Amino acid sequence: MKSVAVFCGSNPGKDPVYAEETRAAGRLIAERGLTLVYGGGHRGLMGAAADAALAAGGQVHGVITEALKSREMMHAGIQVCEVVETMAERKHRFAELADAFLVLPGGIGTLEEVFDMWSRAQLQGLNKPIGILNTKDFYLPQIQMIDRMIEEGFLPEAQRKWVAVSKDAGDLLDWLANFQFSPVSKWL
């Protein structure tokens, strides 16, 4: 594993613990010699992750759309920031650039990104793992929904093994680095 795409909010959230955990994850990614791939902004948790990785001497690669460039205020201090036209292109670049995905708290865009990558794994064979940093049980409702999908026969149980959930970024990075993809049919 050489790079990790981090999906997280362009807002900081109300509790400072979200930014603290995000900075710790960004720093850890840099300390492990991994490139942090993310949405290219300097606001909110996205900016906290990038700033922490940079402060730890890490490499940061942003991908931002032209429309979001000014709204999310593109980070001027990162080594690389690609500007693309569409969100579809942005997510395609995340899939190309990253060896794994780390999900931190965020809004609807964060959810859309992670579920897009999981869907790509399911339908297109994208064999890259997903780690969910579950700070303050933020993702508990989504995890319960995933488990319900399995229980009700809408998602193969074996695909749940493509995703790890933890409150410890170091444990998640270890899991992502050691992940062995096993293809599973979408259909039960």
What tens-digit pLDDT sequence spans the chain (188 residues)?
999 999 999 999 999 999 999 999 999 999 999 999 999 999 999 999 999 999 999 999 999 999 998 776 899 999 999 999 999 999 999 999 999 999 999 999 999 999 999 999 988 889 999 999 999 999 999 999 999 999 999 999 999 999 999 999 999 999 999 999 887 777 76
Residue 183 falls inside a structural domain: no
Considering the domain boundaries, does residue 138 fall inside one?
A: yes
The distance from CA 156 to its chain's CA centroid, rounded to whole angstroms, is 22
* Residue 137 contacts residue 182 (beta carbons within 8 Å): no
Q: What is the pTM of this model?
A: 0.95
- For residue 91, the domain's CATH number is 3.40.50.450
Total Cβ atoms within 10 A of residue 85: 10
Q: Which domain holds residue 145?
A: 3-178
Residue 186 belongs to some domain of the structure: no
Residue 104 lies in a domain: yes
Q: What are phi and psi of 180, to 5 degrees?
A: -120, 115
The CB density around residue 118, as the number of other CB atoms within 10 Å, is 19
In a domain, 64, yes or no: yes
Contact predicate 160/146, CB 8 Å: yes
Distance of CA 69 to the CA centre of its chain: 19
**Within a domain: 144:** yes
> How many structural domains are present in the chain?
1
Structure tokens at 8: 């997280």
**Domain annotation covers residue 188:** no
